């Protein structure tokens, strides 16, 4: 499998007080250098074009971010941009675009985009929760531009509800969005009765879990709620909003998922992909704020998703 990343994303530094900090990516790059994983190659990314971002975000919002390039600004109470943040956000989105193209052309089967800023809280019209552009939604829309892709599954196992992704695809039947998250917790959305609207009704699945849940509860949630829905939906591509803040070490979440637990979740997602999507999986990094927990979860996931 390929890891799509770019050291220019290390330059996005929204302030020393931010848990979403450059060291998150740096620790993984350092670890890959000291402990190479067989079958895993690093690959660069590219700047997403503004038009590609506008498939998901309102033009007014995209223009606002474009105009802030090179500047320092506060977008919401916990989302700041600094001098190099806008190119970093375009590279993060671009990693998904590059990976989707490589997967759908048959060049590779699976990829992990090591990106920051993360994306799943970003709404159509605003930044939120450290997220500027919704990377996974942009990747899903890009996949759906390909002639032979009509159904994409997004599995979001970040400890926080991926509100942006859920709202962007709320009325859509071609993107099944599965969210398993701690509740109550930021951002407060993602109740079990939020199931999508209009033609998208039934294509949004939320499994809120109480604080303190671990490997067993997550596995049960996937077995009970994700597997039957995926079998009915038959996705042709599977995307993972891979956050690792449900890790037992994480300071923001209160869950108890272990490295082995993340490997199990990745295995269940891979089973779905093998059954319906020719094994095609793209994971994109979301949260995860303890460096050891983050790298542990990422390595466990890659151990399952890598080929050979
Ligand atoms: Zn999170």
- Ligand 1: centre distance to CA 151 (Å): 25
By the CB criterion, residues less than 5 angstroms from ion ligand 1 are 158, 160, 243, 245, 287
Residue boundaries of the structural domains of the chain: 2-305
The CATH class of 2-305 is: alpha beta
Question: Distance from the CA of 289 to the center of ligand 1, in angstroms?
Answer: 9
Output the CA 208–ligand 1 centroid distance in Å.
14
Taking the chain (308 residues) in consecutive chunks of 10 residues, what is each chunk's mean pLDDT? 97 92 97 90 97 98 97 93 96 98 98 98 98 99 97 99 98 98 98 98 98 98 98 98 98 98 98 98 98 97 88
Give the pTM: 0.98
156 C-alpha to ligand 1 centroid (Å): 10
pLDDT at site 108: 96
Q: How far is the CA of 148 from the centre of ligand 1 (A)?
A: 32
Active site residues: 121
- How far is ligand 1, taken at its centre, from the CA of residue 162, in Å? 8
Torsion region of 133: left, alpha or beta (phi above 0 gives left; psi -120 to 50 gives alpha): beta
User: Is there a contact between 179 and 162 (Cβ–Cβ < 8 Å)?
Assistant: yes
Neighbours of 279 (CB within 10 A): 16
Alpha-carbon span 122 to 75, nearest angstrom: 11
**In the β-sheet with 175-182, what is the strand arrangement from edge to edge?**
41-43, 2-4, 110-113, 281-285, 237-242, 152-156, 175-182, 204-209
Determine the Cα–Cα distance for residues 258 and 114; give it in Å rounded to an integer: 20
CA–centroid distance for 107 within its chain: 22
Report the chain's mean pLDDT, rounded to a whole number. Answer: 97
CA distance 12 to 125: 21
Please say whether the beta carbons of 238 and 155 come within 8 A.
yes
225: phi then psi, degrees, rounded to nearest 5: -110, -35
Give me ligand 1 centre to Cα 308, in Å.
30
Which stretches does DSSP call E strand in 67-171?
A: 73-76, 79-81, 110-113, 152-156
Q: How many angstroms is it from 292 CA to the middle of ligand 1?
A: 16
């Amino acid at each position: 499998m390929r890891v799509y990343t770019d050291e220019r994303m290390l330059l996005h530094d929204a302030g020393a007080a931010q848990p979403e900090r450059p060291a998150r990516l740096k620790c993984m790059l350092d670890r890959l250098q000291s402990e190479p994983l067989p079958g895993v190659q690093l690959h660069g990314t590219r700047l997403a074009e503004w038009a590609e971002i506008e498939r998901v975000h309102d033009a007014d919002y995209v223009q606002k971010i474009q105009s802030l390039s090179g500047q320092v600004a506060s977008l919401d109470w916990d989302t700041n941009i600094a001098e190099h943040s806008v190119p970093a956000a375009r590279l993060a989105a671009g990693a998904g675009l590059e990976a989707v193209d490589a997967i759908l052309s048959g060049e590779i089967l699976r990829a992990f985009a090591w990106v920051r800023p993360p994306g799943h809280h970003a709404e159509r019209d605003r930044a939120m929760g450290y997220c500027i552009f919704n990377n996974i939604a942009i990747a899903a829309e890009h996949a759906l531009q390909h002639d032979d892709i009509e159904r994409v599954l997004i599995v979001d196992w970040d400890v926080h509800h991926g509100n942006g992704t859920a709202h962007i695809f709320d009325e859509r039947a071609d993107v099944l969005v599965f969210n398993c998250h701690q509740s109550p917790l930021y951002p407060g959305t993602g109740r079990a009765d939020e199931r999508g609207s209009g033609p998208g009704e039934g294509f949004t699945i939320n499994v809120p879990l109480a604080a303190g849940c671990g490997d067993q509860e997550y596995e049960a949630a996937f077995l009970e709620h994700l597997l039957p829905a995926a079998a009915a939906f038959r996705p042709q591509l599977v995307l993972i909003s891979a956050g690792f803040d449900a890790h037992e070490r994480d300071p923001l979440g209160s869950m108890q998922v272990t490295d082995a637990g993340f490997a199990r979740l990745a295995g269940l997602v891979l089973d779905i992909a093998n059954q319906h999507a020719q094994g095609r999986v793209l994971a994109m990094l979301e949260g995860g704020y303890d460096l050891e927990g983050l790298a542990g979860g990422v390595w466990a996931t890659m151990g399952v998703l890598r080929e050979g």
